[in-house]
Amino acid sequence: MKKASALPLFFGFCLTVLCGPLAAQDQQVRVPNFWDPKAVNDRPASVPDKIQFLASDGYPPFVFRDPQGRLTGFNVDLARALCQELGSSCALRIKNFDVLLAALDEEEGDAIISGLSRNLPAAQDLNFTEDYLKLPARFIVPADRAETFDEQRLDGVAIAVVAGTRYEAFAQRFWPKANILSLDTETEAREAVKSGPADAHFGDGLSLSFWLPSQAADGCCVFAGGPWLEPDYFNEGLAIATRPDDPERAAALNYALRQLQQKGIYRELYLRYFPMSFY
């Protein structure tokens, strides 16, 4: 869960390869697909007997504890589904985020499933799976302006962003003729659309998907346009990391991730934890 005189045409709307068909129960829910359906997906010759996952809790909806103190979340259920697909025994060990790399190196676990960035210097030599979730940027606008908002024509449009973020940097670079309102916090940027001077807010799609149906939003706003996944800004996604000397486990997990997508299990998990899709 980052940085033309003209914008590339394929950013700002949902690619066929990226977004699957609309969910049957809600025609507004788009489920992303990050795997090439034409790619060969043979089961690896070597599949691990067990996988000990490492993660940090307190990060809903990915890993957190329910009111009874039980671990739950998208990453928890995804890890369980991966093991079931591979026929491997499965366990999840919770560690503080800042010691996950050390725990992996000391073989306290086999794979980190906790949003570890590939760009960390200490993670450069790790084996990463393909991304199982990308975190796009999105626009929100007042609900009564959704049909007239055009993300390809933003000259003079007041866009609220959080100062010092990649969303601000992207907006300033690609929409120089827009009126960029740089505010101190996400709350201020959202409020600027809800009741203030902004025509739109450009920010993190995931967090906005939970804010829009909340009491704080009060039904004010909706997503407009499509997901933005511009390389060097928003293209780094969530992946699972294994030790440098363990490429076989990463390969097995990649196989299992593709299988979950093809069988519809990934879709089921996505809809369970992201009922308002951020794609």
Q: Tens digits of per-residue pLDDT, 12-25?
A: 323 333 443 333 33
**Residue 161 and residue 223 share a domain:** yes
User: How does pLDDT run along the chain (279 residues), one tens digit per residue?
Assistant: 333 323 332 233 233 334 433 333 344 578 898 888 777 788 988 899 999 999 999 999 999 999 999 999 999 999 999 999 999 999 999 999 999 999 999 999 999 999 898 888 989 999 999 999 999 999 999 999 999 999 999 999 999 999 999 999 999 999 999 999 999 999 999 999 999 899 999 999 999 999 999 999 999 999 999 899 999 899 889 999 999 999 999 999 999 999 999 999 999 999 999 999 999
**For residue 26, is it within any domain?**
yes
Evaluated on CA atoms 197, 199, 204, 206, the torsion sign reads: positive
Q: What is the 3-state secondary structure (H, E, C) of 59-119?
A: ECCCEEECCCCCEECHHHHHHHHHHHHHCCEEEEEECCHHHHHHHHHCCCCCEECCCCCCC
**Residue 182 and residue 152 share a domain:** yes
**Residue 241 and residue 218 share a domain:** no
- Looking only at the bridges linking them, the beta strands covering 179-183 and 158-162 are parallel
Residue 81 CA to residue 270 CA, distance in Å, equals: 13
To which residue do tokens 């491997």 refer? 88
Residue 87 is encoded by which pair of tokens? 């026929």
Do 226 and 102 meet the contact criterion of CB atoms below 8 Å apart?
Answer: no
**For residue 8, is it within any domain?**
no
**For residue 56, is it within any domain?**
yes
Residue 173 CA to residue 107 CA, distance in Å, equals: 44
**For residue 151, is it within any domain?**
yes
**Residue 57 and residue 89 share a domain:** yes
**Residue 98 and residue 144 share a domain:** no
Structural domain total, the chain: 2
**Residue 143 and residue 97 share a domain:** no
**Residue 99 and residue 38 share a domain:** yes
* Sequential DSSP letters for 204-250: EHHHHHHHTTSTTTTT-EEEEEEEE--TTTT--EE--EE-TT-HHHH
Among residues 214, 276, 265, the alpha carbon closest in space to that of 79 is found at 265
**Residue 160 and residue 125 share a domain:** no
Residue 32 identity (one-letter amino acid): P
**Residue 245 and residue 147 share a domain:** no
**Residue 130 and residue 32 share a domain:** yes
Do 193 and 139 meet the contact criterion of CB atoms below 8 Å apart?
Answer: no
- The DSSP bridge partners found for residue 179 are 158
Residue 77 CA to residue 231 CA, distance in Å, equals: 29
**Residue 110 and residue 29 share a domain:** yes
Q: Tens digits of per-residue pLDDT, 58-85?
A: 999 999 999 999 999 999 999 999 999 9
CATH of the domain at 98: 3.40.190.10
**For residue 88, is it within any domain?**
yes
**For residue 278, is it within any domain?**
no
**For residue 77, is it within any domain?**
yes
Residue 155 CA to residue 62 CA, distance in Å, equals: 37
**For residue 14, is it within any domain?**
no
**Residue 181 and residue 47 share a domain:** no
Evaluated on CA atoms 176, 223, 149, 226, the torsion sign reads: positive
Classify each residue of 69-82 as buried b or exposed e, where b means 16 or more C-beta atoms within 10 Å of its C-beta: eeebbbbbebbebb
Q: How many CA atoms lie within 13 A of 122 on its CB side?
A: 9
Among residues 106, 75, 70, the alpha carbon closest in space to that of 90 is found at 75
Helix axes 74-86, 247-262, angle to 10 degrees: 100
What DSSP designation does 121 have? G
List the domain range (segments joined by +) for residue 95: 19-134+236-273
